Chains A and B, each alone.
Chain A
Amino acid sequence: MFRYFLRRLAGLTPVLGAAIVVTFLAIRALPGDPVGVMLSDHSADVAMATRLRAEYGLDRPLPEQFLRYVWDIFTGNFGLSFRYVHRPVWEVLRDSLLISPLLALGALALALPIGVLLGVQAALHRNTMRDTAIIVSLVAGLSIPNFGIATFLVYLFSVKMNLLPVAGWGQFKQAILPIVVLALPSAAYIARLTRTFMLEVLQQDFIRTARAKGLAERLVVYRHALGNTLVPLSTSAGIMFGGLLSNTVVVETIFNIPGLGRLAIDSIFARDYPVAMAVVILFVLFYALINLAVDLFYALIDPRVRQEIAA
């Protein structure tokens, strides 16, 4: 098991390597001179420009700049920010680091039970009014953009009913609306998947056997049928995490939450590209780690996979 873990961990190298190379090239490919951005109204000061260029390593040949870039990433400070001159990128994003992944995980934790429950209900009552009603709300949930949902919920709960804060970060109350907004489309997606998987599993012979031997319907559905949809569901949950991470950017912007996503957008507008690129690398890393965790999880729950690893 441990060797499997190490092998999967090593499998992340090409993805992270690609992220590092692409972000380096993106910073290099940018039009204009970063030192010009930093100096803004002092742009005529040649001595200062030379000093900054040396401090940021921009006077070095490209291969050396690349090695320094990689070194800065592995030592954890991610180089220096363009906007906050002299400050390492790490200091700029340190306080935001875990907000986006926590929001995404919170949303996943909320979406999974709701989605599975709705999906099972739709599958058990296939082609009835209940199924149709659930499917219609799923299509709506998947089609309305999250900022539209956010607009509606803020209007309802914050402006009209005055129950929850409009925006901000730090209290539990302020996390409720952002997580709900993130979770709704995912819940709809999970419900659709669960319905499909359940309809397939319920046709299987072992379900008929379970019913034939007189097992309670509740056990048949929730232990035998649902248990067998867990593996495909957990894979989808890992992939969904990438979408959730992407959507935190929108939610953090709407609710004024100081997470990595909003920081990346702010940095693009402030031309602070090293910070934006650090967010890219971190997002790729978070996504890779979650999918690694999912792989390990179903190595644990699925005896077939476990055996394959042992062999």
Chain B
Amino acid sequence: MSGGKDSADASSGRFIRRFLRQRNAVIGGAIVLVVLAVAILAPWLAPHPFDATDLVNVWAPPDAVNWIGTDKLGRDIASRLIYGARASLMVALSVVAITLVLGVALGMIAGYFGGRTDGILMRIVDVTLAFPEVVFAILVASVLGPGMATVIVSLALVWWPGIARLTRSLVLVQKQELFVDAAIVAGASPGEILRRHLLPNIIAPLIVRASVGIGFIIMAEATLSFLGLGLQEPTPSWGSMIRDGLPALRTDPYLAVSGSIVLGLTIIGFNLLGDGLRDVLDPRLHGR
């Protein structure tokens, strides 16, 4: 193998090469890049405003003006699909960010201090995991009402316990290391040890673990929007677009079908990328 100039360079090069060897992960990564670009560039890519209604031109079939046709209010389906990428990614990234902050903080506290704190926190984790997922959506939607906040909060409630558990186990291993003893001897406070010494050593697998779930978070967001608990009109979400398209499936299938395809492809992309990342980063899977 051709050696890099320094070790960090070599290891990132090896990482990229190993990643590129996995065809599925590359396909997934390409899909994810397209979705990201569409979400960021939505205002420039969309041929029409996502909320411009045209009541004389409802349920129009695809033509040169409306590439995929229009919905029940005459809004351009293609533009709404493009803006829908924003809603999906916004929810997914918010949920990942919240679960990381909450799960990592609580997991680190439980793992580092142990004892009674650990017992109470892990009990909360166990009880949270003993609730079926949909229960959180029902609870949060009852309190906050349908909307983006409900989706983000209820999904964060579902995802944080897993991250907290993983964080705790990583801290339990790391805190045996010599550098932690050294920091204690040097007079570092527990807060400093957690933030400056332990966190940098455990954060990489945690970010990977949280990102692997993005496909499932996007699916959950679409499901809640499909049920009417998620994003509200006129903001487009793929889930609510599919729901709007279902009653017209017989006569005007373009809305439901195009929404399902875009959503399905996006989730497949994130899942393929996630599986690939996990395989590349899991040290048990490569011998050398």
Contact = CB atoms under 8 A, between A and B. Distances in A.
B131 interface: yes
Given A246-B133, A269-B228, A283-B132, A151 B256 contact: yes
Given A151-B246, A245-B134, A265 B229 contact: yes
Contact of B130 (A23, A147, A284): A284
Contacts of A284: 130-132, 135
Nearest to A248: B134
A148 interface: yes
Given A151-B246, A243-B132, A268 B263 contact: no
A247 B146 CA distance: 18
B116 to A, nearest CB: 16
A148 B246 CA distance: 10
B88 to A, nearest CB: 12
Contacts of B133: 242-243, 246
Contact of A26 (B139, B215, B249): B139
B286 interface: no
B246 A280 contact: no
Interface string B212-247: 000100010011001111000000000100110010
Contacts of A243: 132-133
A15 B138 contact: no
Given A145-B223, A147-B226, A15 B127 contact: yes
A127 to B, nearest CB: 14
Interface stretch (B12-20, B50-58, B201-209, B265-273): B265-273
Contact of A22 (B139, B228, B268): B139
Contacts of B35: none
B280 interface: no
B263 A145 contact: yes
A276 B142 contact: yes
Interface string A134-158: 0000011011111110011011000
Nearest to B266: A143
A184 to B, nearest CB: 13
The number of chain A residues touching the other chain, given as a range, is: 35 or more
Contacts of A78: none
Contacts of B226: 145, 147, 250
A246 B134 contact: yes
A287 B219 contact: no
Residue of B142, B227, B256 ringed by the most chain A CB atoms within 10 A: B142
Nearest to A148: B260
A145 B227 contact: no
A273 interface: yes
A142 B130 CA distance: 22
B227 A277 contact: no
A261 interface: yes
| Chain B contact residues: helix, strand, loop or mixed | helix
A58 interface: no
A264 interface: yes
A253 B224 CA distance: 12
A47 interface: no
Given A249-B227, A265-B227, A280-B139, A143 B134 contact: no
A159 interface: yes
A44 interface: no
A80 interface: no
Residue of B133, B146, B272 ringed by the most chain A CB atoms within 10 A: B133
Contact of A143 (B143, B246, B271): B271
A26 B132 contact: no
B263 A242 contact: no
A237 interface: no
Given A139-B272, A140-B268, A250-B227, A151 B249 contact: yes
Given A139-B272, A268-B229, A276-B138, A30 B143 contact: yes
A199 interface: no
A116 interface: no
B264 interface: yes
A280 B135 contact: yes
B217 to A, nearest CB: 12
A283 B134 contact: yes
A67 B114 CA distance: 34
Contacts of B249: 151, 154-155, 159
A261 B134 contact: yes
Interface string A1-40: 0000000000000110011001100110110000000000
Given A151-B246, A151-B256, 12 more contacts: A15-B130, A26-B143, A145-B226, A145-B239, A145-B263, A151-B260, A268-B138, A268-B229, A269-B228, A279-B138, A283-B131, A283-B134
26 contacts: A15-B131, A19-B135, A22-B139, A29-B143, A139-B271, A139-B275, A143-B268, A144-B268, A145-B222, A145-B223, A147-B226, A148-B242, A148-B263, A148-B264, A151-B256, A246-B133, A246-B135, A253-B227, A265-B229, A268-B138, A276-B138, A283-B131, A283-B135, A284-B132, A287-B131, A288-B130
